[in-house]
């Protein structure tokens, strides 16, 4: 069988025979019957024409260098992180005068004295002394635990202890500690974790600035307290991300009035009681502040409840999310899939028109379709189109999920949502787009750009519904009235138009949503584009973007502690103590 090989063919990146070998050696395939069809399909779909099981094995072999590099990067990150966290935790030098007091709510039960002592020491070493620690002990049977708690009250009068007659569980013990608090602000703290030296100061600064719900970044610490790892760099408040999973976690702090108003922790959500609390606090808070500093160290022990009872935690989280949707009168079904919460919003009838742009094949579309060469004159076309929502789709993309249209539509129909997009994967199953971050040197960069779909994504960000600053115009659904109200696409020649449209929606108070359930595969031609669709944007586009949004566009969902390349690896070279 002859396989053509042209200098400009996509096959210059990989020998053609290496791609089709798994096909032609399958017994049920007779290559002699359809050699041209095989060749044409390879040219059109590339690596994706191979059955998925075989494709995965080939990809695993081809991606081995990438996986080795990723593993080396993660190991280097963990090694370099020890020095980074020491720099990062250096106390702030600017003067600060607290006008409030922060009460830590700490439930205890048979806590090993050495762990309790370490927590107490991290409190005593706070750069701001306006705190109190409210320990409620749930009838510990360990005498050394009770003795240490009693000794702490003698050591410093900011340690306050109540010995309960029974163990009320995490929720009951924490709520009992809440009744002990006298500070204007309260924070949840586990009995075996550690606080960074500036934790109290940073929380009170946010509180004195008007916030009534505050959360911070965190990492993990080994059982012996000697090694820090897995920093969790969080976005600013993102309601869809929070419903997908409790990214807020530690430290959760709120005004005492707000905490009492929502009723503290609720029983019945064991394993996800913090998630349920974060959802209720976010509904009632007047101002939510995220502090992008690692101020909490979560100790990893074999007895950590959330790690042993993953399914129980996921089920409790789903109940908490469903409960919130009922409170907000939002119609949706909540399920657990692969230990992750998934929401299926009830959709209403919407008239959708697809604007298919660019050159290439088009998938079968269950809606009217208008084909345009590019997006230069699309604003006027949308203005003249009678529809409820518009789907912008680049030719050469093929859906990987059967219900991709309804998945995009269920988010686009929400009154609080602007743009909706999903993952774009090249012929090697690597991400070309998974939501845009904008406060980077190149104007915009995709989350997880160039990383393998089967790799180790940061905090599963590619596999959950979450809020992002912008999405690609190659796959974007938006309501027609919203599109026109923000002025449509600005005249960009590159995919910065998608990031710009997202920022304009964000500017009028709307959310942009990334969903992993409407994924698209690129054909071979599109797969030859740069790893990120905004890479190589014309200088005129970058100049326009900077003139419109400044040198530091408002990026809410990509931590300033990340590298600016979209990889979501921590930037270990940062020298300053604050982001």
Tell me the C-alpha distance between 280 and 416, whole Å.
Answer: 19
- Span 155-167, average pLDDT: 97
User: Of the ranges 18-22, 198-202, 446-450, 525-529, which one carries the lowest mean pLDDT score?
Assistant: 18-22
Output the DSSP codes for 325-364: HHHTT--EEEEEETTEEEEEEPP----EEEEEESSS----
pTM above 0.95, yes or no: no
250-259 pLDDT, tens digit each: 999 999 999 9
Q: Per-residue pLDDT for 436 more than 60? A: yes
562-572 pLDDT, tens digit each: 988 887 888 88
Nearest residue to 216 via CA among 104, 122, 291, 105: 291
**Dihedral sign, CA of 337, 341, 342, 343?**
positive
The count of other CB atoms within 10 Å of the CB of residue 90 is 14
471-529 pLDDT, tens digit each: 999 999 999 999 999 999 999 999 999 999 999 999 999 999 999 999 999 887 787 66
% of residues, the chain, pLDDT over 70 = 83
Q: 208 versus 432: which is more confidently predicted?
A: 208
Q: Is the CB of residue 448 less than 8 Å from the CB of residue 457?
A: yes
Q: Any idea which residue has 């944007």 for tokens?
A: 537
pLDDT confidence of residue 141: 96
Tell me the C-alpha distance between 48 and 493, whole Å.
Answer: 29
SS3 of residue 197 by DSSP? coil
- Span 342-367, average pLDDT: 92
Nearest residue to 424 via CA among 456, 378, 392: 392
User: Of the ranges 3-12, 36-45, 80-89, 413-422, which one carries the lowest mean pLDDT score?
Assistant: 3-12
**Dihedral sign, CA of 243, 249, 252, 257?**
positive
Instruction: Find out whether the peptide bond into 141 is cis, omega within 30 degrees of 0.
Output: no
What HEC string does 50-115 produce?
CCHHHHHHHHHHHCHHHHHHHHHHHHHHHHHHHHHHHHHCCCCCCCCCCCCCEEEEEEECCCCHHH
Burial class from Cβ neighbours inside 10 Å (0-12, 13-18, 19+) for residue 257 reads exposed
Tell me the C-alpha distance between 414 and 174, whole Å.
Answer: 36
Q: Any idea which residue has 């929380």 for tokens?
A: 203
- For 232, list phi and psi in degrees, rounded to 5: -110, 100
Would you identify the CATH topology of the domain 96-301?
Spore Coat Polysaccharide Biosynthesis Protein SpsA; Chain A (3.90.550)
Q: Per-residue pLDDT for 364 more than 70? A: yes
| Average pLDDT, rounded, for the chain | 87
Long-range contacts of 538-543, Cβ-Cβ distance < 8 Å, separation of 24 or more: 538/493, 538/494, 540/493, 541/443, 541/492, 541/493, 541/494, 541/496, 542/442, 542/443, 542/496
CATH code of the region 347-549: 3.90.550.60
Tell me the C-alpha distance between 472 and 478, whole Å.
Answer: 12
Say how many Å lie between the first and final Cα of the chain, rounded.
59
Do 96-301 and 347-549 agree at the fold level? yes
DSSP strand pairing (389-394 vs 475-479):
antiparallel
48-103 pLDDT, tens digit each: 566 665 655 655 555 555 555 555 556 666 778 998 999 988 888 899 999 999 99
pLDDT confidence of residue 188: 98
pLDDT confidence of residue 65: 57
Helix (H) or strand (E) run with residue 135 in it = strand 131-137
pLDDT confidence of residue 12: 35
- Would you place residue 21 in the very low, low, confident or very high pLDDT band (cuts 50, 70, 90)? very low
Residue ranges covered by each domain of the chain: 10-55, 96-301, 347-549
φ/ψ bin of 134: left (φ > 0), alpha (ψ from -120 to 50), beta (otherwise): beta
DSSP alpha helices (H): ranges in 302-439?
305-308, 310-327, 378-383, 404-412
Q: Is the CB of residue 342 less than 8 Å from the CB of residue 460?
A: no
Give the largest CA-CA distance in the chain. 88
Token couple for 397:
């993309």
Q: Per-residue pLDDT for 22 more than 60? A: no
User: Of the ranges 19-33, 143-157, 255-269, which one carries the lowest mean pLDDT score?
Assistant: 19-33
SS3 of residue 256 by DSSP? helix
SS3 of residue 417 by DSSP? strand
Tell me the C-alpha distance between 359 and 228, whole Å.
Answer: 50
Tell me the sheet residues that pair with 194.
297
Tell me the C-alpha distance between 529 and 578, whole Å.
Answer: 36
């Amino acid at each position: 069988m002859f396989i053509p090989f042209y200098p400009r063919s996509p096959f210059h990146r990989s020998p053609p025979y290496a791609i089709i070998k798994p096909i032609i050696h399958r017994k049920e395939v007779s290559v002699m019957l359809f050699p041209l069809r095989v060749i044409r399909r390879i040219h059109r779909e590339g690596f994706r024409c191979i059955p998925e099981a075989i494709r995965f094995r080939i990809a695993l072999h081809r991606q081995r260098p990438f996986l080795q590099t990723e593993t080396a990067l993660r190991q280097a990150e963990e090694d370099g992180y020890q020095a980074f966290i020491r720099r990062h935790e250096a106390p702030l030098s600017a003067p600060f005068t607290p006008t409030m007091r922060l009460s830590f709510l700490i439930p205890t039960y048979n806590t090993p004295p050495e762990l309790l002592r370490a927590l107490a020491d991290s409190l005593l070493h706070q750069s701001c002394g306006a705190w109190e620690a409210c320990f409620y002990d749930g009838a510990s049977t360990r005498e050394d635990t009770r003795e240490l708690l009693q000794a702490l009250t003698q050591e410093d009068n900011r340690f306050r202890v109540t010995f309960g007659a029974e163990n009320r569980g995490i929720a009951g013990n924490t709520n009992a500690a809440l009744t002990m608090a006298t500070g204007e602000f309260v924070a949840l703290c586990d009995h075996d974790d550690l606080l960074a030296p500036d934790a109290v100061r940073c929380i009170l600064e946010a509180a004195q600035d008007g916030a009534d719900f505050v959360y911070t970044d965190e990492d993990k610490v080994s059982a012996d307290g000697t090694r820090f790892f897995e920093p969790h760099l969080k976005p600013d408040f993102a309601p869809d991300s929070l419903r997908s999973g409790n990214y807020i976690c530690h430290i959760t702090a709120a005004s005492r009035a707000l905490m009492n108003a929502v009723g503290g922790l609720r029983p019945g959500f064991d394993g996800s009681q913090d998630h349920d609390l974060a959802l209720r606090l976010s509904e009632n808070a007047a101002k939510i502040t995220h502090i992008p500093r690692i101020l909490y160290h979560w100790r990893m022990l074999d007895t950590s409840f959330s790690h042993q009872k993953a399914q129980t935690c996921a089920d409790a989280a789903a109940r908490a999310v469903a409960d919130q949707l009922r409170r907000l009168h939002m119609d949706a079904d909540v399920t657990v899939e692969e230990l992750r919460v998934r929401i299926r919003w009830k959709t209403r009838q919407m008239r959708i028109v697809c604007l298919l742009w660019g050159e290439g094949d088009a998938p079968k579309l269950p809606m009217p379709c208008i084909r345009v060469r590019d997006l230069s004159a699309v604003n006027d076309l949308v203005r003249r189109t009678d529809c409820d929502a518009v789907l912008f789709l680049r030719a050469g993309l093929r859906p990987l999920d059967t219900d991709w249209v309804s998945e995009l539509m269920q988010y686009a129909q929400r009154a609080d949502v602007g743009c909706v997009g999903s993952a774009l994967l090249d012929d090697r199953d690597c991400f070309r787009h998974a939501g845009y971050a904008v406060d980077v040197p190149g104007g915009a960069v995709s989350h997880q750009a160039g990383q393998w779909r089967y790799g180790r994504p940061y905090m599963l960000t590619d596999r959950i519904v979450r809020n992002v600053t912008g999405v690609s115009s190659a796959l974007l659904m938006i309501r027609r009235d919203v599109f026109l109200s923000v002025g449509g696409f600005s005249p960009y020649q590159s995919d910065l138009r998608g990031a710009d449209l997202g920022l304009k929606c964000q500017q009028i108070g709307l959310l942009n949503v990334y969903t992993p359930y409407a994924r698209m595969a690129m054909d071979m031609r599109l797969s030859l584009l740069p790893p990120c669709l905004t890479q190589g944007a014309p200088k005129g586009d970058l100049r326009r973007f900077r003139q419109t949004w400044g040198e530091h566009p408002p990026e809410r969902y990509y931590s300033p502690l990340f590298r600016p390349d979209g990889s979501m690896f921590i930037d270990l070279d940062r020298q300053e103590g604050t982001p």
